[in-house]
Structure 1
Amino acid sequence: MLEVACFNVASAIVAAENHADRIELCEDQAAGGTTPSLDWLIQVKARVSIPVFVMIRPRGGDFVYTEAEFARMQEELQAFKQSADGFVFGILDSESKVDKSRTAELVRFVHPKPCTFHRAFDQTSDHYAALEDVITTGCKAILSSGGQPTALEGINVLGELVKKAGDRIVIIPGGSVRAANSARILQSTGAKVLHSSCCPSSTSSAITAELPDVAEVRGMVQSLQ
Protein backbone atom coordinates (compact mmCIF):
# COMPACT_ATOMS: atom_id res chain seq x y z
CA MET A 1 0.00 0.00 0.00
CA LEU A 2 1.20 3.50 -0.87
CA GLU A 3 0.02 6.45 1.20
CA VAL A 4 0.78 9.83 -0.38
CA ALA A 5 1.00 12.96 1.75
CA CYS A 6 -0.91 15.68 -0.11
CA PHE A 7 -0.74 19.36 0.79
CA ASN A 8 -3.54 20.62 -1.44
CA VAL A 9 -6.58 19.35 -3.31
CA ALA A 10 -4.85 19.09 -6.69
CA SER A 11 -2.12 16.89 -5.19
CA ALA A 12 -4.68 14.45 -3.85
CA ILE A 13 -6.32 14.15 -7.25
CA VAL A 14 -2.96 13.49 -8.97
CA ALA A 15 -2.07 10.83 -6.38
CA ALA A 16 -5.40 9.05 -6.79
CA GLU A 17 -5.29 9.18 -10.58
CA ASN A 18 -1.89 7.48 -10.52
CA HIS A 19 -2.95 4.56 -8.33
CA ALA A 20 -1.93 5.63 -4.84
CA ASP A 21 -3.83 3.54 -2.30
CA ARG A 22 -4.49 6.23 0.30
CA ILE A 23 -4.12 9.96 0.83
CA GLU A 24 -2.87 11.74 3.93
CA LEU A 25 -4.38 15.21 3.62
CA CYS A 26 -2.64 18.06 5.39
CA GLU A 27 -1.53 21.68 5.04
CA ASP A 28 1.79 23.51 5.38
CA GLN A 29 4.44 21.21 3.96
CA ALA A 30 7.23 23.43 5.34
CA ALA A 31 6.01 22.71 8.88
CA GLY A 32 5.81 18.97 8.22
CA GLY A 33 2.04 19.05 7.86
CA THR A 34 -0.78 20.62 9.87
CA THR A 35 -4.56 20.26 9.95
CA PRO A 36 -6.11 21.08 6.55
CA SER A 37 -9.42 22.85 6.01
CA LEU A 38 -12.69 20.93 6.03
CA ASP A 39 -13.42 22.42 2.63
CA TRP A 40 -10.33 20.71 1.24
CA LEU A 41 -11.50 17.35 2.53
CA ILE A 42 -14.96 17.83 1.03
CA GLN A 43 -13.44 18.71 -2.35
CA VAL A 44 -11.06 15.74 -2.28
CA LYS A 45 -13.75 13.25 -1.24
CA ALA A 46 -15.88 14.44 -4.15
CA ARG A 47 -13.07 13.74 -6.61
CA VAL A 48 -11.34 10.55 -5.43
CA SER A 49 -12.50 7.07 -4.48
CA ILE A 50 -9.52 6.01 -2.33
CA PRO A 51 -9.45 6.51 1.46
CA VAL A 52 -8.47 9.93 2.78
CA PHE A 53 -6.82 10.20 6.20
CA VAL A 54 -6.69 13.69 7.72
CA MET A 55 -3.80 15.02 9.77
CA ILE A 56 -4.79 16.61 13.06
CA ARG A 57 -1.96 18.91 14.11
CA PRO A 58 -2.82 22.41 15.32
CA ARG A 59 0.63 23.87 14.63
CA GLY A 60 4.16 23.09 13.53
CA GLY A 61 6.97 22.60 16.01
CA ASP A 62 7.00 20.09 18.83
CA PHE A 63 4.29 17.61 19.78
CA VAL A 64 3.74 18.67 23.38
CA TYR A 65 0.38 20.42 23.46
CA THR A 66 -1.29 22.77 25.91
CA GLU A 67 -4.81 22.17 27.17
CA ALA A 68 -6.08 24.74 24.68
CA GLU A 69 -4.25 23.04 21.80
CA PHE A 70 -5.57 19.63 22.82
CA ALA A 71 -9.09 21.05 22.95
CA ARG A 72 -8.55 22.42 19.45
CA MET A 73 -7.50 18.95 18.24
CA GLN A 74 -10.74 17.55 19.65
CA GLU A 75 -12.73 20.26 17.88
CA GLU A 76 -10.95 19.48 14.61
CA LEU A 77 -11.69 15.78 14.98
CA GLN A 78 -15.33 16.59 15.58
CA ALA A 79 -15.44 18.66 12.39
CA PHE A 80 -13.79 15.96 10.26
CA LYS A 81 -15.24 12.90 11.97
CA GLN A 82 -18.04 12.25 9.52
CA SER A 83 -16.15 12.77 6.26
CA ALA A 84 -12.62 11.46 6.86
CA ASP A 85 -11.75 7.78 6.47
CA GLY A 86 -9.12 7.94 9.20
CA PHE A 87 -6.86 10.26 11.13
CA VAL A 88 -3.17 10.95 11.67
CA PHE A 89 -1.88 12.59 14.85
CA GLY A 90 0.64 12.22 17.66
CA ILE A 91 1.04 13.64 21.14
CA LEU A 92 4.10 13.49 23.40
CA ASP A 93 4.58 14.47 27.02
CA SER A 94 7.28 16.73 28.44
CA GLU A 95 9.65 13.75 28.79
CA SER A 96 9.45 12.90 25.07
CA LYS A 97 7.30 9.87 25.74
CA VAL A 98 4.00 9.00 24.09
CA ASP A 99 1.14 10.79 25.85
CA LYS A 100 -0.90 7.63 26.17
CA SER A 101 -3.96 9.07 27.88
CA ARG A 102 -4.50 11.95 25.46
CA THR A 103 -3.74 9.85 22.40
CA ALA A 104 -6.11 7.11 23.54
CA GLU A 105 -8.80 9.71 24.22
CA LEU A 106 -8.61 10.93 20.62
CA VAL A 107 -8.63 7.36 19.27
CA ARG A 108 -11.76 6.57 21.28
CA PHE A 109 -13.40 9.79 20.15
CA VAL A 110 -13.25 8.85 16.45
CA HIS A 111 -13.75 5.08 16.84
CA PRO A 112 -14.18 3.06 14.65
CA LYS A 113 -12.20 5.29 12.26
CA PRO A 114 -8.54 4.07 12.22
CA CYS A 115 -5.79 6.31 13.55
CA THR A 116 -2.09 6.54 12.69
CA PHE A 117 0.45 7.86 15.20
CA HIS A 118 2.62 10.13 13.06
CA ARG A 119 6.31 11.01 13.15
CA ALA A 120 6.06 12.48 16.62
CA PHE A 121 7.07 8.87 17.27
CA ASP A 122 10.57 9.66 16.00
CA GLN A 123 11.01 12.27 18.72
CA THR A 124 10.53 9.73 21.52
CA SER A 125 13.50 8.83 23.70
CA ASP A 126 12.96 5.05 23.45
CA HIS A 127 11.39 3.86 20.20
CA TYR A 128 10.73 0.32 21.36
CA ALA A 129 9.00 1.47 24.54
CA ALA A 130 7.10 3.99 22.43
CA LEU A 131 5.95 1.17 20.14
CA GLU A 132 4.33 -0.61 23.07
CA ASP A 133 2.82 2.65 24.32
CA VAL A 134 1.24 3.46 20.96
CA ILE A 135 -0.21 -0.05 20.71
CA THR A 136 -2.01 0.47 24.04
CA THR A 137 -3.68 3.64 22.72
CA GLY A 138 -5.57 1.78 20.02
CA CYS A 139 -3.78 3.36 17.06
CA LYS A 140 -3.66 1.03 14.07
CA ALA A 141 -0.39 2.27 12.55
CA ILE A 142 2.81 4.20 13.25
CA LEU A 143 4.48 6.47 10.71
CA SER A 144 8.23 6.54 11.34
CA SER A 145 11.67 7.13 9.86
CA GLY A 146 13.23 4.97 12.56
CA GLY A 147 14.19 8.01 14.60
CA GLN A 148 16.46 9.36 11.87
CA PRO A 149 16.02 12.22 9.36
CA THR A 150 15.19 9.72 6.60
CA ALA A 151 13.79 6.20 6.42
CA LEU A 152 16.98 4.98 4.73
CA GLU A 153 19.06 6.20 7.66
CA GLY A 154 16.64 4.58 10.09
CA ILE A 155 16.24 1.39 8.10
CA ASN A 156 17.65 -0.93 10.79
CA VAL A 157 15.41 0.47 13.52
CA LEU A 158 12.42 0.28 11.17
CA GLY A 159 13.16 -3.38 10.54
CA GLU A 160 13.26 -4.05 14.28
CA LEU A 161 10.02 -2.15 14.80
CA VAL A 162 8.29 -4.22 12.11
CA LYS A 163 9.48 -7.44 13.79
CA LYS A 164 8.47 -6.35 17.28
CA ALA A 165 5.12 -5.03 16.07
CA GLY A 166 4.14 -8.28 14.38
CA ASP A 167 0.45 -8.18 13.59
CA ARG A 168 -0.34 -5.85 16.51
CA ILE A 169 0.19 -2.60 14.60
CA VAL A 170 1.35 -1.53 11.13
CA ILE A 171 4.73 0.20 10.80
CA ILE A 172 4.80 2.68 7.90
CA PRO A 173 8.26 3.86 6.80
CA GLY A 174 8.29 7.53 5.82
CA GLY A 175 10.88 10.25 5.40
CA SER A 176 12.45 10.88 1.98
CA VAL A 177 11.01 7.63 0.64
CA ARG A 178 11.32 7.68 -3.15
CA ALA A 179 10.79 5.30 -6.05
CA ALA A 180 14.57 4.79 -6.23
CA ASN A 181 14.87 3.55 -2.63
CA SER A 182 11.43 2.09 -1.99
CA ALA A 183 12.31 -1.48 -2.97
CA ARG A 184 15.33 -1.47 -0.65
CA ILE A 185 13.26 -0.11 2.24
CA LEU A 186 10.56 -2.72 1.71
CA GLN A 187 13.05 -5.58 1.45
CA SER A 188 15.18 -4.51 4.41
CA THR A 189 12.34 -3.73 6.82
CA GLY A 190 9.61 -6.16 5.86
CA ALA A 191 7.14 -3.27 5.75
CA LYS A 192 4.03 -3.58 3.58
CA VAL A 193 3.04 0.10 3.50
CA LEU A 194 5.07 3.14 2.44
CA HIS A 195 4.47 6.85 2.99
CA SER A 196 5.77 9.58 0.70
CA SER A 197 4.88 13.00 -0.64
CA CYS A 198 6.32 11.83 -4.00
CA CYS A 199 7.57 15.38 -4.50
CA PRO A 200 9.34 16.37 -7.72
CA SER A 201 13.04 17.22 -7.70
CA SER A 202 14.17 20.56 -6.31
CA THR A 203 14.86 21.74 -9.85
CA SER A 204 11.15 21.67 -10.73
CA SER A 205 9.17 24.87 -11.00
CA ALA A 206 7.28 26.13 -7.95
CA ILE A 207 3.94 25.21 -9.51
CA THR A 208 5.05 21.67 -10.41
CA ALA A 209 6.66 21.18 -6.99
CA GLU A 210 3.27 21.58 -5.33
CA LEU A 211 2.05 18.39 -7.03
CA PRO A 212 3.29 14.80 -6.68
CA ASP A 213 5.66 13.60 -9.39
CA VAL A 214 3.65 11.14 -11.49
CA ALA A 215 6.73 8.99 -12.17
CA GLU A 216 7.46 8.83 -8.44
CA VAL A 217 3.93 7.71 -7.59
CA ARG A 218 3.87 5.09 -10.32
CA GLY A 219 7.37 3.86 -9.49
CA MET A 220 6.50 3.35 -5.85
CA VAL A 221 3.22 1.63 -6.70
CA GLN A 222 5.18 -0.77 -8.89
CA SER A 223 7.71 -1.54 -6.14
CA LEU A 224 4.85 -2.46 -3.81
CA GLN A 225 3.30 -4.95 -6.22
Structure 2
Amino acid sequence: MTALEFAVQDVAGAIGARRVGADRVELCAALGSTGGLTPSIGMIEAVVSTGMPVHALIRCRAGGFVYAEDDEIAVMNADAKAAASAGAAGLVVGALTPDHRVDVGVLERVLDGVPVDDIELTFHRAIDQIADRAAAIETLIDQGMTRVLTSGGAARCSDGLDELAAMVHQAAGRLQIMAGGGVTAADIPALAHIGVDAIHLSARRVVADDGGPGGGTAGHERLDDELAAAVAARLRTTAAG
Protein backbone atom coordinates (compact mmCIF):
# COMPACT_ATOMS: atom_id res chain seq x y z
CA MET A 1 0.00 0.00 0.00
CA THR A 2 1.14 3.55 -0.68
CA ALA A 3 2.63 5.03 2.49
CA LEU A 4 1.26 8.24 3.99
CA GLU A 5 3.46 10.93 5.52
CA PHE A 6 2.35 14.20 7.09
CA ALA A 7 4.59 17.21 7.60
CA VAL A 8 3.97 18.35 11.17
CA GLN A 9 5.44 20.92 13.52
CA ASP A 10 4.47 19.76 16.99
CA VAL A 11 3.41 16.92 19.24
CA ALA A 12 -0.29 17.44 18.52
CA GLY A 13 0.39 17.06 14.82
CA ALA A 14 2.22 13.79 15.33
CA ILE A 15 -0.56 12.43 17.53
CA GLY A 16 -3.14 13.46 14.94
CA ALA A 17 -1.14 11.78 12.19
CA ARG A 18 -0.90 8.59 14.21
CA ARG A 19 -4.64 8.70 14.95
CA VAL A 20 -5.54 8.61 11.25
CA GLY A 21 -3.05 5.85 10.48
CA ALA A 22 -0.16 7.73 8.87
CA ASP A 23 3.06 5.77 8.49
CA ARG A 24 5.42 8.53 9.65
CA VAL A 25 5.81 12.27 10.03
CA GLU A 26 8.30 14.74 8.70
CA LEU A 27 9.00 17.10 11.59
CA CYS A 28 9.95 20.67 10.80
CA ALA A 29 9.51 24.25 11.98
CA ALA A 30 8.23 27.40 10.24
CA LEU A 31 6.63 25.33 7.50
CA GLY A 32 4.21 27.84 6.05
CA SER A 33 6.53 30.83 6.04
CA THR A 34 9.74 29.14 4.88
CA GLY A 35 8.89 25.72 3.47
CA GLY A 36 10.33 24.18 6.62
CA LEU A 37 13.39 24.49 8.84
CA THR A 38 15.08 22.18 11.34
CA PRO A 39 12.98 21.73 14.48
CA SER A 40 14.50 22.06 17.93
CA ILE A 41 16.00 19.04 19.64
CA GLY A 42 13.41 19.41 22.38
CA MET A 43 10.65 19.15 19.81
CA ILE A 44 12.27 16.15 18.15
CA GLU A 45 12.53 14.34 21.49
CA ALA A 46 8.93 15.20 22.38
CA VAL A 47 7.55 13.96 19.06
CA VAL A 48 9.70 10.81 19.15
CA SER A 49 8.17 10.07 22.56
CA THR A 50 4.72 9.77 20.91
CA GLY A 51 5.87 6.57 19.25
CA MET A 52 5.36 7.97 15.75
CA PRO A 53 8.33 7.44 13.39
CA VAL A 54 9.92 10.88 13.07
CA HIS A 55 11.89 12.08 10.06
CA ALA A 56 13.53 15.37 10.99
CA LEU A 57 14.13 18.05 8.40
CA ILE A 58 17.74 19.26 8.31
CA ARG A 59 17.67 22.74 6.78
CA CYS A 60 19.42 25.61 8.49
CA ARG A 61 17.78 28.53 6.70
CA ALA A 62 15.10 29.53 4.24
CA GLY A 63 15.80 30.19 0.57
CA GLY A 64 17.75 28.13 -1.93
CA PHE A 65 19.60 24.90 -1.40
CA VAL A 66 23.12 25.92 -2.42
CA TYR A 67 25.26 25.84 0.72
CA ALA A 68 28.63 27.48 0.10
CA GLU A 69 29.30 28.60 3.67
CA ASP A 70 31.20 26.25 5.96
CA ASP A 71 29.22 27.39 8.99
CA GLU A 72 25.90 26.42 7.37
CA ILE A 73 27.17 22.94 6.59
CA ALA A 74 28.63 22.56 10.07
CA VAL A 75 25.32 23.54 11.67
CA MET A 76 23.39 21.05 9.56
CA ASN A 77 25.89 18.31 10.41
CA ALA A 78 25.51 19.05 14.11
CA ASP A 79 21.72 19.08 13.75
CA ALA A 80 21.74 15.80 11.82
CA LYS A 81 23.83 14.04 14.46
CA ALA A 82 21.72 15.47 17.27
CA ALA A 83 18.45 14.48 15.59
CA ALA A 84 19.64 10.92 15.10
CA SER A 85 20.78 10.78 18.73
CA ALA A 86 17.36 12.10 19.80
CA GLY A 87 15.69 9.09 18.21
CA ALA A 88 14.72 10.30 14.75
CA ALA A 89 13.94 7.37 12.48
CA GLY A 90 15.06 9.34 9.47
CA LEU A 91 16.52 12.60 8.23
CA VAL A 92 15.30 14.81 5.39
CA VAL A 93 18.21 16.51 3.64
CA GLY A 94 19.16 18.16 0.38
CA ALA A 95 21.84 20.30 -1.23
CA LEU A 96 22.48 21.60 -4.73
CA THR A 97 25.52 22.78 -6.63
CA PRO A 98 25.37 26.30 -8.12
CA ASP A 99 24.35 24.74 -11.46
CA HIS A 100 21.52 22.85 -9.74
CA ARG A 101 22.79 19.30 -9.51
CA VAL A 102 22.87 17.12 -6.41
CA ASP A 103 25.78 18.38 -4.29
CA VAL A 104 27.27 15.08 -3.20
CA GLY A 105 30.12 16.76 -1.34
CA VAL A 106 27.83 18.82 0.86
CA LEU A 107 25.54 15.86 1.53
CA GLU A 108 28.52 13.80 2.67
CA ARG A 109 29.62 16.59 5.00
CA VAL A 110 26.12 17.03 6.42
CA LEU A 111 25.88 13.29 7.10
CA ASP A 112 29.43 12.85 8.38
CA GLY A 113 29.30 10.96 11.67
CA VAL A 114 25.57 10.22 11.33
CA PRO A 115 24.62 6.51 11.73
CA VAL A 116 23.14 6.37 8.24
CA ASP A 117 22.91 2.58 8.26
CA ASP A 118 20.40 2.79 11.12
CA ILE A 119 18.06 5.46 9.74
CA GLU A 120 16.24 6.37 6.53
CA LEU A 121 17.34 9.28 4.35
CA THR A 122 14.98 11.40 2.28
CA PHE A 123 16.23 13.91 -0.30
CA HIS A 124 13.76 16.79 -0.15
CA ARG A 125 12.19 18.96 -2.82
CA ALA A 126 15.47 20.51 -3.80
CA ILE A 127 15.19 17.91 -6.55
CA ASP A 128 12.40 19.96 -8.10
CA GLN A 129 14.98 22.63 -8.95
CA ILE A 130 17.06 20.09 -10.87
CA ALA A 131 16.51 20.01 -14.63
CA ASP A 132 17.99 16.54 -15.15
CA ARG A 133 16.05 14.61 -12.53
CA ALA A 134 16.88 11.32 -14.23
CA ALA A 135 20.57 11.87 -13.50
CA ALA A 136 19.70 13.04 -9.99
CA ILE A 137 17.86 9.81 -9.27
CA GLU A 138 20.92 7.75 -10.14
CA THR A 139 23.08 9.98 -7.96
CA LEU A 140 20.73 9.62 -5.01
CA ILE A 141 20.69 5.85 -5.42
CA ASP A 142 24.49 5.83 -5.46
CA GLN A 143 24.47 7.93 -2.28
CA GLY A 144 22.28 5.44 -0.44
CA MET A 145 19.19 7.62 -0.16
CA THR A 146 15.99 5.82 0.86
CA ARG A 147 13.57 8.10 -0.99
CA VAL A 148 13.07 11.43 -2.69
CA LEU A 149 10.25 13.90 -2.07
CA THR A 150 9.11 15.52 -5.30
CA SER A 151 6.25 17.10 -7.18
CA GLY A 152 7.82 16.07 -10.47
CA GLY A 153 9.14 19.61 -10.84
CA ALA A 154 5.66 21.14 -10.96
CA ALA A 155 4.01 23.60 -8.60
CA ARG A 156 1.58 20.86 -7.61
CA CYS A 157 1.77 17.09 -7.89
CA SER A 158 -1.41 17.06 -9.94
CA ASP A 159 0.49 18.98 -12.63
CA GLY A 160 3.53 16.70 -12.45
CA LEU A 161 1.93 13.28 -12.87
CA ASP A 162 3.77 12.39 -16.08
CA GLU A 163 7.16 13.25 -14.59
CA LEU A 164 6.34 11.45 -11.35
CA ALA A 165 5.36 8.36 -13.33
CA ALA A 166 8.65 8.54 -15.24
CA MET A 167 10.58 8.80 -11.98
CA VAL A 168 8.77 5.78 -10.56
CA HIS A 169 9.60 3.81 -13.70
CA GLN A 170 13.25 4.79 -13.62
CA ALA A 171 13.73 4.18 -9.91
CA ALA A 172 12.23 0.69 -10.26
CA GLY A 173 12.27 0.08 -6.52
CA ARG A 174 15.86 1.22 -6.03
CA LEU A 175 14.70 4.57 -4.63
CA GLN A 176 11.28 5.34 -3.21
CA ILE A 177 9.41 8.14 -4.98
CA MET A 178 7.29 10.15 -2.55
CA ALA A 179 4.85 12.60 -4.11
CA GLY A 180 4.52 15.91 -2.30
CA GLY A 181 3.47 19.40 -3.25
CA GLY A 182 -0.06 20.79 -3.10
CA VAL A 183 -1.58 17.34 -2.59
CA THR A 184 -5.31 17.16 -1.85
CA ALA A 185 -7.57 14.21 -1.10
CA ALA A 186 -8.83 14.40 -4.67
CA ASP A 187 -5.30 13.78 -5.97
CA ILE A 188 -4.85 10.50 -4.11
CA PRO A 189 -6.27 8.09 -6.73
CA ALA A 190 -4.15 9.49 -9.58
CA LEU A 191 -0.99 9.43 -7.48
CA ALA A 192 -1.61 5.89 -6.33
CA HIS A 193 -2.37 4.83 -9.90
CA ILE A 194 1.06 5.88 -11.17
CA GLY A 195 2.70 3.85 -8.44
CA VAL A 196 4.35 6.37 -6.13
CA ASP A 197 5.70 4.73 -2.99
CA ALA A 198 4.36 7.39 -0.64
CA ILE A 199 2.27 10.54 -0.49
CA HIS A 200 3.33 13.55 1.57
CA LEU A 201 1.31 16.58 2.62
CA SER A 202 0.98 19.01 5.49
CA ALA A 203 -2.84 19.12 5.79
CA ARG A 204 -2.48 22.18 7.99
CA ARG A 205 -4.70 24.99 9.12
CA VAL A 206 -3.86 28.34 10.65
CA VAL A 207 -4.94 29.04 14.20
CA ALA A 208 -5.50 32.78 14.71
CA ASP A 209 -3.20 33.90 17.49
CA ASP A 210 -1.97 37.51 17.66
CA GLY A 211 1.53 37.66 19.07
CA GLY A 212 1.50 41.41 19.55
CA PRO A 213 4.23 43.85 18.47
CA GLY A 214 7.05 41.36 19.02
CA GLY A 215 5.45 38.04 18.21
CA GLY A 216 3.93 38.42 14.79
CA THR A 217 0.27 38.41 13.85
CA ALA A 218 -0.10 35.48 11.49
CA GLY A 219 -1.06 32.95 14.14
CA HIS A 220 0.35 29.45 14.13
CA GLU A 221 -0.21 26.31 12.09
CA ARG A 222 -1.60 22.98 13.25
CA LEU A 223 -2.49 19.72 11.57
CA ASP A 224 -6.11 19.87 10.42
CA ASP A 225 -7.47 16.64 11.91
CA GLU A 226 -10.49 16.50 9.62
CA LEU A 227 -8.46 17.02 6.48
CA ALA A 228 -5.85 14.48 7.60
CA ALA A 229 -8.59 11.93 8.25
CA ALA A 230 -10.15 12.59 4.84
CA VAL A 231 -6.81 12.04 3.09
CA ALA A 232 -6.12 8.84 4.99
CA ALA A 233 -9.61 7.53 4.27
CA ARG A 234 -9.27 8.32 0.57
CA LEU A 235 -5.96 6.47 0.43
CA ARG A 236 -7.45 3.41 2.13
CA THR A 237 -10.43 3.44 -0.21
CA THR A 238 -8.16 3.74 -3.23
CA ALA A 239 -6.01 0.84 -2.04
CA ALA A 240 -9.08 -1.30 -1.52
CA GLY A 241 -9.92 -0.84 -5.19
Q: Please, what TM-score do these two structures have when normalized by structure 1? A: 0.91
Matched residue, 2:216: none
Residue type of the partner of 1:54? A
Query: Do residues 120 (structure 1) and 131 (structure 2) align?
Result: no
Query: Do residues 224 (structure 1) and 224 (structure 2) align?
Result: no
Matched residue, 2:16: 14
Report deviation, 1:93: 0.6
2:130, 2:136 within 8 Å by CA — same for their partners in 1? yes
Structure 2, gaps ≥5 residues long: 210-218, 237-241
Matched residue, 1:161: 167
Matched residue, 2:201: 196
Report deviation, 1:224: 2.9
The CA RMSD measured in Å over matched residues stands at 1.8
Q: How does 1:120-199 map to 2 (within 5 A)?
A: 120-187=126-193, 189-199=194-204
Structure 1, gaps ≥5 residues long: none
Report deviation, 1:181: 1.4
2:74, 2:110 within 8 Å by CA — same for their partners in 1? no
Query: Do residues 74 (structure 1) and 85 (structure 2) align?
Result: no
Aligned with residue 37 of structure 2, among 34, 38, 44:
34
Matched residue, 2:212: none
Higher strand share: 2
Matched residue, 1:25: 27
Residue type of the partner of 1:155? L
| In structure 1, distance between residues paired with 2:104 and 2:233 | 37
Residue type of the partner of 1:172? M
Aligned with residue 48 of structure 2, among 27, 30, 45:
45
1:114, 1:139 within 8 Å by CA — same for their partners in 2? yes
Query: Do residues 215 (structure 1) and 230 (structure 2) align?
Result: no
Q: Deviations over 1:126-154 (max 9, x none)?
A: 11111111111111000000011111111
2:93, 2:121 within 8 Å by CA — same for their partners in 1? yes
SS for the counterpart of 2:17 is helix
Matched residue, 1:96: 100
Report deviation, 1:199: 2.1
Task: Indicate the structure (1 or 2) with the bigger Cα radius of gyration.
Answer: 2
Residue type of the partner of 2:134? Y
| In structure 2, distance between residues paired with 1:35 and 1:28 | 9
Report deviation, 1:209: 6.9
Report deviation, 1:219: 2.4
Query: Do residues 111 (structure 1) and 116 (structure 2) align?
Result: yes
Report deviation, 1:42: 1.2
Residue type of the partner of 1:177? V
| In structure 1, distance between residues paired with 2:148 and 2:115 | 17
Matched residue, 1:55: 57
2:14, 2:52 within 8 Å by CA — same for their partners in 1? no
Aligned length, in residue pairs:
220
Q: Please, what TM-score do these two structures have when normalized by structure 2? A: 0.85
